[in-house]
Amino acid sequence: MELDALFTDSCARDWVTTDPDSTAPVRFAVVGLGWFTKGRSLPALEASDRCEPTVLVSSTAEKAEQVAAATDGAIGISYDAFHDGVARDKYDAVYICTPNALHLDYASTAAAFEKAVLCEKPMERDSDRARTLVETCDAASVDLMIAYRMHTEPAVRRARELIESGYIGDPMEVRADMSQRLLDRVNSDPDQWRLDEELAGGGALFDIGIYPLNTARFLLDADPIAATGQTASTHAAFADVDETVSFMLEFPDSVFASCYASHNARQSSGITVTGTEGQVRVEPAFFQEQSRKLHLSRGDSQSSITLAMVDQMREEFDYFADRVRGDAHLSPNGEHGLVDMVTMEAIYKAAAEKTWIEIQ
C-alpha cells in the first residue's frame, strides 16, 4: 500500500470484486436472536444494500415473529421450522449467531439446503465439531465464512498492508489485548450461555481472546506453531469457564505474540506489531463503538491516524455478499477458523499442564 492512500482513503473497500448495482442482494436467514444479533448484526443487514434479512430464526416462533415485526420484509420462524425447511426459498445464505455448541447443527441444515454459511466465531465448542462443520460445508460445496470482523476492519487492513509492504521491516513481536467487564457492563445474566461450558466450549479465550489470536494471525499472515497460557477466574459465575486468559504464541521465524483477554478488566483493546524497522499499532482495536486509531512509527517519525468509524458488521456482511455473488476467494474460511479452534484448545491444555503445546 502507498502511504498516501492511508491519509486520503483509509476506509476504502479494497475488497470489492462484484458490482453491487448489477448483483442481487443476498437474502439471509438469521439464526439466533440474542443481544449481539439484535444490537449489531440485524441493524447492519438492514442498512446494507447488498444484504437483506428475510427470515429470522429463534427458539420459538413467537420470539422470532416479535423481532421480525420490527424488521422490514422479514418473517420469523422457530429453530425447528428452520431445520424442517420452512421458508427455505426465501434466503440464499444463513448467518449463525447462536451459542457456539449449536453452530454445527444450523450449518449442517444450511449446507443440506445448499445455502452459503456465515458462522460467528468461535466456530464451535470444540475442534472436532468445528472440523465436522468444515467438512459438511465442503461436501455440500457451499461457501463457509467465519465472522471475523477484523478482516474487513479498515484500520486492521491498512495495518496488514503496511506490514506486508515492509514498513516495519521483519515482524518480530505482537502484543494484543481485549478486556471488558462482561457481567457489569455487557450482560449481567448469570445464566447466559457464554458462562456455560457445554454451550460455549470456553470462556474469555473463546469469546474475546480469539480477537487478539486471530488478528495476530491476520496481521502476520502466519499461523502459530506452539502456545502456552494460563487461565483464571474470580467470580462464581465463571466457575466453569475462564474469566481471564493470558497466552503466548510462537509463530514461524521466532516471532512471538503475547495476548491477554479478560471478562473482568477495564475495557481495553489493542494490537501492536513491532518489527526490526518500525511499529504498527491499532488501538482501540476490537470493540465496535469506537473510532479506530492507527499508530505508526519508523525512523524518527511517529504518527497517529484516526479512521472514520465504520459499521464493522456491515463491512463483514457486504464482503460476504460480494464473495457469495462473485467468484473471488472467500476468507476467513472454515479451514482458517479451524486453526483458532486447535490453537485455543492447545492454550487450555498448556494451562492445565503448565507447559508449551505444539500446534500441528
Pick the binder of a second copy from 16, 86, 248, 359 (CB under 8 A). Answer: 248
Among 17, 234, 291, 303, binds a second copy (CB under 8 A): 234
Closer of 152 and 228 to a second copy (Cβ): 228
Judged by CB under 8 A, the stretch of 26-34, 158-166, 194-202, 272-280 that binds a second copy is 272-280
Which of 71, 127, 279, 343 forms a contact with a second copy (CB under 8 A)?
279
**Interface with a second copy, residue 86, by CB under 8 A:** no
Nearest distance in Å: CB 311, a second copy: 23
274 binds a second copy (CB under 8 A): yes
Of the candidate spans 44-52, 105-113, 225-233, 341-349, the one that interacts with a second copy by CB under 8 A turns out to be 225-233
Binding to a second copy by residue 136, rule CB under 8 A? no
Could you identify the residue written with the cell 449463525?
96
Taking CB under 8 A as the rule, does residue 215 contact a second copy?
no
Tell me the C-alpha distance between 22 and 300, whole Å: 48
Q: Is 187 in the site for a second copy (CB under 8 A)?
A: no
Closer CB to a second copy, 204 or 313, in the complex: 204
Q: How far apart are the first and last CA of the chain?
A: 33
What angle (nearest 5°) sits at the alpha carbon of residue 157, between those of residues 156 and 161? 115
Residue found under cell 465439531 = 129
Residue 205 CB, nearest distance to a second copy (Å)? 13
Number of residues lying near a second copy (CB under 8 A):
38
Residue type, 28: F
Separation of alpha carbons 83 and 268, rounded Å? 39
Q: Residue 46 and residue 79: Cα distance in Å, rounded?
A: 22
What type of residue sits at position 4? D
Candidate residues 120, 177, 207, 322; the one interacting with a second copy per rule CB under 8 A: 177
Sheet order of strands, 75-78 included: 75-78, 51-58, 26-31, 93-96, 116-119, 144-146
Among 138-146, 154-162, 254-262, 323-331, the segment contacting a second copy (CB under 8 A): 254-262
Q: How far apart are CA 288 and CA 269, in angstroms?
A: 11
Which residue in 13, 63, 175, 349 binds a second copy (CB under 8 A)? 175
Q: Say how many C-beta atoms besides its own lie within 10 A of residue 213's C-beta.
A: 28
- C-alpha pair distances (Å), 272 with each of 92, 265, 275: 38, 19, 10
Place of cell 512509527: 297
H or E stretch at 69: helix 61-69
Q: Which is nearer to a second copy, 54 or 244 (CB)?
A: 244
Closest Cα to residue 251, out of 281, 277, 280, 216?
216
Q: By CB under 8 A, is residue 180 in contact with a second copy?
A: no
Q: Which three cell numbers stand for residue 253?
A: 521465524
Q: Does 113 bind a second copy (CB under 8 A)?
A: no
Residue 287 is a binding residue for a second copy (CB under 8 A): no
Give residues 23-82 in contact with a second copy (rule: CB under 8 A).
none
Q: How many CA atoms lie within 13 A of 240 on its CB side?
A: 13
Instruction: Give the contacts of 22 (CB within 8 A, at least 6 positions apart).
Output: none
Query: Does residue number 212 form part of the binding site for a second copy (CB under 8 A)?
Result: no
CA–CA distance, 283 with 297 (Å, rounded to integer): 14
Q: Which of 298, 331, 333, 359 binds a second copy (CB under 8 A)?
A: 298
> Quick check: 355 binds a second copy (CB under 8 A)?
yes
Q: Which of 173, 197, 223, 311 binds a second copy (CB under 8 A)?
A: 173
Give me 52's grid cell: 437483506
Contacts with a second copy, residue ranges (CB under 8 A): 168-169, 172-173, 175, 177, 179, 181, 226, 228, 230, 232, 234, 244, 246, 248, 250, 254, 256, 258-260, 262, 264-266, 268, 274-279, 297-298, 354-356
